[in-house]
């Protein structure tokens, strides 16, 4: 038999694969249709924008690769695998970058259907496989992380392991030497695509080894496959690994000794040695630490106790059992059927246990957080497919009946997923009017300039404005966020000083590598303690380092909603890690006034919330005049409550806040446009976002 004949698929099987694939693709267009119907607000440059922050990192990398250059230390994802793939598609297929960003996940993630069906074909279980493939493509958590516009590595992080599992199962089921290359090649691909995939691949390799020891000891092909897998995950040069794997493979295929168990053992021994010498055993499980041990994310090179960002990331939080089931199988019933089916399936087809690495990783969600559930999706879906198959066989249904009931059950199981997809109407990360502002910054700012903004906007700013940022979706540890939080929360003097310090020290730190910026500042300014240093920053005449570039503040309206969270990162005593009391800050709409939940006295000197009366120290009202200029009326009262109200008339929003929040740079610059003319210069004063240049 020739090499390619071995991989021939019948027309029927090809058709099943195509149908499942198209279903998965089609389901992802429901969101695209919905979003295009909403219209302009989600559209930039004629194309629907993406809905994941991190996507802009890959997009920035691809944009820079297309341009052929990027700036030193601009944190661009230049050369990143997803950026590179995107670059190839744009460059060699001539597809617009924005289209690739929107649709790549739709097509790549749907390949999961292909992998699931290929596995099922190895067991001659096309019917079970088809149901499984349909479900795997659209199950809740898998959909959420691979929908259209979800431009992230997730689009292949589950697909590739499914193909690895397929390759291993095929070796075990067919015992054909041609097949031993499949899994190792996908391991190499995974290696390139997703560096954190190491633990999953090691676990899968281990399971394959265990299966061999228990059920298939005499098969030399298994040892050869193991050897190739170990080379695949060893920390060696990528190209060297490809060469080694191909060399061993062709030796096996073309040599007469290919079934000699001694030679197989010798090869396995050598590759295991290679794997171990290169440190292969050390990092196993190590990468999962960040998610298992929640509080150890901060690196040890600082004595300060920053606010840990893990505490605010939703995807790492504990989840309850029902959500867990729904994320994996879209409904609790389907989840239970899947478990039962999986039990029977593994009993009948023991080699399927090589997929249990994925299952285990998925079930780690119970401990480690939502993000892991996606790995269990295809494995549990296979369980469901087999459940349907044995159920119908149990009742010995004739062909016509079989098909009808099969279709009914599968549609019933898919129904919750489709409902979920219809309800999952996420918005794009940026709105069109925000992007307009970002594109204006691009024209104003130099590529070496910094834009100070919260990390949510980091990647997007870098993509649309091509500037540098202090924090982003990948750089947001407590120590990174501290300075930006400080600059938004403190008054304008302290803010300006901190912004200049942080930018200049960040730039120096790339070369000098002096640990945390803050420690170095304290040292160089000769302060005895952090507190002493922070007091210096309140001085307008504080001598900041020489200015090497411009700094812009990006203050979007949307930040009003997350401002209390932002404040947490600097509103604490870094020496002890203890939080200061939360500042008072409430945003409410004028609906509350209309519904009489909240009311003001006629003179606006008191506000009543739930029957509780609060005296105000001041009442401000902002509104836009006919020239789209912000007008502020302010009234200060002689009270001592420390509470203020700002009414943003055009947005229909009220802010109830304390003095610290009122004086914060964000509120002064964004809400009131009350900037210190010696420190800041407005560049763009738009409703959606305000951008100031730091004059210091
Ligand atoms: Mn750049």
Q: pLDDT tens digits for 51-93?
A: 999 999 999 999 999 999 999 999 999 999 999 999 999 999 9
Q: How confident is the model at residue 282 (pLDDT cuts 50, 70, 90)?
A: low
Q: How confident is the model at residue 316 (pLDDT cuts 50, 70, 90)?
A: very low
* Distance of CA 466 from the midpoint of ligand 1 (Å): 5
* Distance of CA 78 from the midpoint of ligand 1 (Å): 10
* pLDDT for 447 beyond 90: yes
* Distance of CA 68 from the midpoint of ligand 1 (Å): 11
- Give pLDDT tens digits for 460-513: 999 999 999 999 999 999 999 999 999 999 999 999 999 999 999 999 999 999
Q: How confident is the model at residue 319 (pLDDT cuts 50, 70, 90)?
A: low
Segment 155-160 mean pLDDT: 97
User: According to the model, what pLDDT value does residue 283 have?
Assistant: 63
* Distance of CA 71 from the midpoint of ligand 1 (Å): 5
Give the separation between CA 443 and CA 15, rounded to whole angstroms: 51
* Distance of CA 452 from the midpoint of ligand 1 (Å): 15
- Reduce the DSSP state of residue 556 to 3 states and report it: strand
Segment 588-593 mean pLDDT: 89
* Distance of CA 531 from the midpoint of ligand 1 (Å): 35
- Give pLDDT tens digits for 28-45: 999 999 999 998 999 999
What separation in angstroms does the CA of 343 have from each of 205, 259, 359, 384, 423? 21, 33, 13, 10, 32
* pLDDT for 399 beyond 50: yes
User: According to the model, what pLDDT value does residue 292 have?
Assistant: 54
Sheet of 689-694, strand order: 468-469, 450-452, 551-556, 689-694, 680-685
* Distance of CA 489 from the midpoint of ligand 1 (Å): 27
Q: How confident is the model at residue 308 (pLDDT cuts 50, 70, 90)?
A: low
* pLDDT for 295 beyond 80: no
* Distance of CA 54 from the midpoint of ligand 1 (Å): 16
Mean pLDDT lowest among 153-162, 279-288, 391-400: 279-288
* Distance of CA 508 from the midpoint of ligand 1 (Å): 17
- Give pLDDT tens digits for 80-131: 999 999 999 999 999 999 999 999 999 999 999 999 999 999 999 999 999 9
Give the separation between CA 229 and CA 212, rounded to whole angstroms: 14
* Distance of CA 111 from the midpoint of ligand 1 (Å): 33
* pLDDT for 596 beyond 90: no
* Distance of CA 471 from the midpoint of ligand 1 (Å): 14
* Distance of CA 428 from the midpoint of ligand 1 (Å): 23
Q: How confident is the model at residue 299 (pLDDT cuts 50, 70, 90)?
A: very low
* Distance of CA 499 from the midpoint of ligand 1 (Å): 20
Q: Rounded to the nearest 5 degrees, what angle is found at the Cα of 535, between the Cα atoms of 533 and 537?
A: 80
Task: Check: CB of residue 219 under 8 Å from CB of residue 169.
Answer: no
* pLDDT for 278 beyond 90: no
Q: What tokens appear for 273 in the block?
A: 């040695």
Is this structure's pTM higher than 0.85?
yes
* Distance of CA 521 from the midpoint of ligand 1 (Å): 26
What separation in angstroms does the CA of 383 have from each of 71, 135, 233, 327, 563? 50, 11, 29, 15, 45
* pLDDT for 398 beyond 80: no
- Reduce the DSSP state of residue 651 to 3 states and report it: coil
User: According to the model, what pLDDT value does residue 309 have?
Assistant: 58
Segment 526-547 mean pLDDT: 95
* Distance of CA 312 from the midpoint of ligand 1 (Å): 28
User: According to the model, what pLDDT value does residue 450 have?
Assistant: 98
Mean pLDDT lowest among 445-459, 598-612, 660-674: 598-612
* Distance of CA 49 from the midpoint of ligand 1 (Å): 20
* Distance of CA 568 from the midpoint of ligand 1 (Å): 29
User: According to the model, what pLDDT value does residue 394 have?
Assistant: 86
* Distance of CA 51 from the midpoint of ligand 1 (Å): 22
Q: How confident is the model at residue 302 (pLDDT cuts 50, 70, 90)?
A: very low
Mean pLDDT of the chain: 92
* Distance of CA 468 from the midpoint of ligand 1 (Å): 6
* Distance of CA 190 from the midpoint of ligand 1 (Å): 28
User: According to the model, what pLDDT value does residue 43 have?
Assistant: 97
* Distance of CA 463 from the midpoint of ligand 1 (Å): 8
How distant is the alpha carbon of residue 391 from its chain centre?
Answer: 39
Size of the chain in residues: 696
Q: Of the candidates 152, 149, 154, 153, which has an alpha carbon nearest to the alpha carbon of residue 50?
A: 149
User: According to the model, what pLDDT value does residue 298 have?
Assistant: 43
* Distance of CA 474 from the midpoint of ligand 1 (Å): 16
* Distance of CA 219 from the midpoint of ligand 1 (Å): 54
Q: How confident is the model at residue 395 (pLDDT cuts 50, 70, 90)?
A: confident
Give the separation between CA 479 and CA 459, rounded to whole angstroms: 18
Give the separation between CA 149 and CA 426, rounded to whole angstroms: 10
- Give pLDDT tens digits for 5-28: 788 899 999 999 999 999 999 999
* Distance of CA 86 from the midpoint of ligand 1 (Å): 17
* pLDDT for 254 beyond 90: no
* Distance of CA 194 from the midpoint of ligand 1 (Å): 23
Q: How confident is the model at residue 251 (pLDDT cuts 50, 70, 90)?
A: confident
Segment 263-291 mean pLDDT: 76
User: According to the model, what pLDDT value does residue 280 have?
Assistant: 74
* Distance of CA 671 from the midpoint of ligand 1 (Å): 30
* Distance of CA 465 from the midpoint of ligand 1 (Å): 9
What separation in angstroms does the CA of 671 have from each of 316, 531, 590, 650? 33, 29, 17, 12
Q: How many CB atoms lie within 10 A of CB 111?
A: 20
Mean pLDDT lowest among 177-181, 461-465, 608-612, 614-618: 608-612
* Distance of CA 252 from the midpoint of ligand 1 (Å): 48
* pLDDT for 304 beyond 80: no
Beta bridge partners of 527: none
* Distance of CA 74 from the midpoint of ligand 1 (Å): 5
Segment 260-265 mean pLDDT: 85
* Distance of CA 550 from the midpoint of ligand 1 (Å): 15
* Distance of CA 64 from the midpoint of ligand 1 (Å): 7
- Reduce the DSSP state of residue 619 to 3 states and report it: strand
User: According to the model, what pLDDT value does residue 294 have?
Assistant: 46
Q: How confident is the model at residue 297 (pLDDT cuts 50, 70, 90)?
A: very low
* Distance of CA 60 from the midpoint of ligand 1 (Å): 8
- Give pLDDT tens digits for 358-371: 999 999 878 777 78
* Distance of CA 492 from the midpoint of ligand 1 (Å): 28
* pLDDT for 355 beyond 60: yes
* Distance of CA 505 from the midpoint of ligand 1 (Å): 19
User: According to the model, what pLDDT value does residue 284 have?
Assistant: 55
Segment 418-427 mean pLDDT: 96
* pLDDT for 312 beyond 80: no
* Distance of CA 512 from the midpoint of ligand 1 (Å): 21
* Distance of CA 486 from the midpoint of ligand 1 (Å): 25
* Distance of CA 459 from the midpoint of ligand 1 (Å): 11
- Reduce the DSSP state of residue 10 to 3 states and report it: coil
User: According to the model, what pLDDT value does residue 315 have?
Assistant: 47
* Distance of CA 131 from the midpoint of ligand 1 (Å): 46
Q: What tokens appear for 450 in the block?
A: 């910094």
Euclidean distance between the first and the last CA atom of the chain, given in angstroms as a whole number: 75
User: According to the model, what pLDDT value does residue 233 have?
Assistant: 92
Segment 186-214 mean pLDDT: 94
* Distance of CA 467 from the midpoint of ligand 1 (Å): 6
* Distance of CA 623 from the midpoint of ligand 1 (Å): 37
* Distance of CA 59 from the midpoint of ligand 1 (Å): 12
Q: How confident is the model at residue 639 (pLDDT cuts 50, 70, 90)?
A: confident
Q: Who's near 374: CB < 8 A, 6+ residues apart?
A: 141, 142, 145, 154, 157, 158, 362
* Distance of CA 445 from the midpoint of ligand 1 (Å): 11
User: According to the model, what pLDDT value does residue 287 have?
Assistant: 52
Helices of type H across 395-516: 399-423, 432-444, 458-465, 478-489, 492-512
């Amino acid at each position: 038999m020739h090499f390619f004949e071995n991989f021939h698929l019948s027309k029927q099987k090809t058709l099943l694969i195509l149908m499942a694939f198209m279903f998965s693709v089609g389901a992802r267009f429901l969101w695209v249709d919905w979003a295009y119907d909403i219209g302009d607000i989600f559209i930039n440059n004629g194309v629907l924008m993406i809905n994941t922050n991190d996507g802009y990192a890959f997009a920035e990398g691809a944009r820079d690769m297309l341009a052929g250059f990027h700036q030193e230390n601009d944190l661009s994802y230049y050369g990143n695998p997803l950026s590179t793939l995107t670059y190839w598609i744009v460059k060699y297929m001539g597809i617009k970058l924005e289209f690739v960003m929107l649709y790549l996940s739709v097509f790549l993630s749907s390949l999961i259907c292909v992998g699931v069906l290929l596995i099922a074909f190895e067991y001659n279980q096309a019917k079970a496989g088809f149901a499984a493939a349909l479900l795997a493509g659209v199950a809740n958590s898998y959909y959420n992380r691979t929908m259209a516009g979800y431009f992230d590595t997730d689009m292949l992080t589950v697909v590739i392991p499914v193909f690895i599992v397929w390759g291993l199962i095929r070796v075990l089921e067919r015992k054909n030497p041609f097949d031993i290359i499949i899994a190792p090649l996908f391991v190499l691909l995974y290696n390139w695509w997703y560096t954190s995939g190491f633990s999953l691949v090691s676990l899968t390799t281990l399971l394959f080894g265990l299966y061999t020891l228990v059920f298939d000891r005499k098969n030399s092909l298994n040892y050869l496959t193991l050897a190739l897998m170990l080379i695949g995950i060893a920390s060696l040069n990528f190209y060297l690994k490809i060469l080694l794997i191909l060399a061993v493979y062709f030796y096996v295929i073309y040599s007469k000794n290919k079934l000699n168990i001694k030679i197989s053992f010798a090869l396995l021994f050598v590759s295991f040695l290679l794997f171990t010498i290169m440190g292969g055993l050390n990092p196993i499980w190590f990468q999962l630490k960040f998610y298992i041990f929640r509080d150890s994310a901060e690196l040890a090179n600082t004595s300060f106790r920053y606010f840990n960002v893990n505490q605010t990331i939703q995807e790492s939080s504990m989840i309850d059992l029902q959500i867990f089931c729904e994320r994996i199988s879209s409904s609790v019933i389907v989840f239970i059927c899947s478990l039962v089916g999986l039990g029977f399936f593994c009993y009948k087809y023991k080699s399927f246990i090589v997929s249990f690495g994925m299952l285990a990783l998925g079930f780690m969600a119970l401990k480690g957080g939502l993000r892991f559930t996606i790995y269990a999706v295809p494995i549990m879906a296979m369980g469901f497919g087999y459940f349907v198959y044995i159920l119908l066989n149990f009742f010995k249904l004739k062909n016509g009946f079989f098909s009808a009931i099969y279709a009914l059950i599968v549609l019933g199981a898919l129904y919750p997923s489709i409902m979920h997809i219809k309800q999952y109407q996420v918005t794009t990360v940026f709105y069109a009017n925000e992007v307009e502002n970002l594109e204006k910054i691009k024209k104003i700012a130099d590529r070496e300039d910094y834009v100070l903004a919260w990390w949510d906007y980091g990647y997007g700013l870098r993509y649309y404005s091509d500037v540098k940022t202090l924090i982003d979706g990948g750089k947001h540890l407590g120590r990174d966020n501290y300075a930006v939080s400080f600059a938004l929360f403190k008054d304008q003097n302290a803010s300006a000083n901190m912004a200049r310090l942080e930018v200049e020290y960040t730039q120096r730190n790339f070369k000098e590598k002096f640990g945390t910026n803050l420690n170095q500042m304290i040292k160089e300014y000769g302060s005895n303690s952090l507190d002493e240093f922070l007091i210096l920053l309140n001085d307008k005449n504080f001598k900041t380092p020489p200015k090497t570039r411009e700094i812009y503040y990006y203050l979007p309206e949307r930040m009003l909603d997350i401002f209390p969270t932002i404040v947490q990162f600097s509103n604490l005593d870094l020496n002890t890690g203890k939080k200061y009391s939360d500042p008072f800050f409430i945003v409410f709409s004028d609906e509350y006034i209309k519904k009489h939940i909240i009311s003001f006295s006629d003179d606006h000197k008191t506000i009543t919330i739930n029957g509780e009366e609060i005296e105000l120290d001041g009442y401000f009202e902002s509104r836009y005049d006919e020239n789209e200029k912000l007008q502020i009326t302010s009234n200060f009262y002689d009270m001592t409550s420390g509470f203020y109200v700002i009414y943003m008339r055009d947005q229909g929003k009220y802010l109830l806040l304390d003095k610290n929040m009122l004086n914060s740079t964000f509120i002064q610059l964004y809400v009131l446009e009350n900037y210190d003319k010696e420190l800041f210069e407005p560049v763009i004063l738009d409703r959606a976002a305000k951008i100031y240049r730091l004059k210091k």
